[in-house]
């Protein structure tokens, strides 16, 4: 599997905009409804499905080290469902744990999103997210 390391926030949005050939930033007028939603300075939204402080070394195992119970959510799935329900075209890139403190996105996922969104109608808005199972950065990009 080919992986690319990509930053979140404005750096991730820039790369996503270039990859998806977006013409402009879009507006995101919704909430995802998770315990932590914080707006960024450039219109992005930072999310956490965790209502607690996660250990810095957590790699999001199936058994949550804070809850001492199974983790029964995947934030990327929640974002995709919410985006679709709000009329956005979802492009959620799942962050994979590559090495200690380093996340990556599968190149194939990025290319598939590019190809899927290339056929979107002009004026459409994609909700683009870089998401782990518990945390995400979300932004909207205007297409064609």
Residue numbers of the domain that contains 67? 3-142
Q: What is the DSSP letter of 54?
A: P
Q: Report the mean per-residue pLDDT for the chain.
A: 78
- Please state, in angstroms and rounded to a whole number, the distance separating the CA atoms of residues 90 and 130: 11
Closest CA relative to residue 24, chosen from 43, 8, 38, 9 = 43
Residue with tokens 């029964």: 72
The residue among 71 and 20 whose pLDDT is bigger is: 71
Contact 103, 132 (CB under 8 A): yes
The residue among 132 and 26 whose pLDDT is bigger is: 132
Q: pTM for the complete prediction?
A: 0.80
Instruction: Report the pLDDT averaged over residues 82-92.
Output: 88
Give the pLDDT confidence score for residue 9 in this predicted structure: 46
If one counts the domains in the chain, the total is 1
Least confident of 84-93, 94-103, 110-119: 94-103
């Amino acid at each position: 599997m080919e992986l690319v390391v990509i930053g979140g926030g404005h750096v991730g949005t820039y790369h996503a905009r270039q990859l998806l050939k977006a013409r402009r930033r879009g507006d995101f007028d919704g909430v995802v409804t998770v315990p932590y939603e914080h707006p960024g300075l450039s219109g992005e939204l930072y999310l956490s499905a965790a209502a607690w402080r996660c250990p810095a070394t957590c790699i999001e195992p199936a058994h949550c080290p804070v809850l001492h119970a199974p983790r029964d959510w995947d934030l990327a799935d929640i974002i995709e469902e919410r985006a679709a329900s709000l009329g956005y075209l979802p492009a959620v890139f799942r962050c994979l744990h590559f090495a200690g403190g380093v996340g990556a996105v599968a190149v194939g996922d990025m290319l598939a999103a590019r190809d899927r969104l290339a056929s979107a109608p002009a004026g459409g808005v994609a909700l683009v997210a870089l998401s782990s199972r518990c945390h995400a950065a979300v932004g909207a990009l205007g297409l064609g």
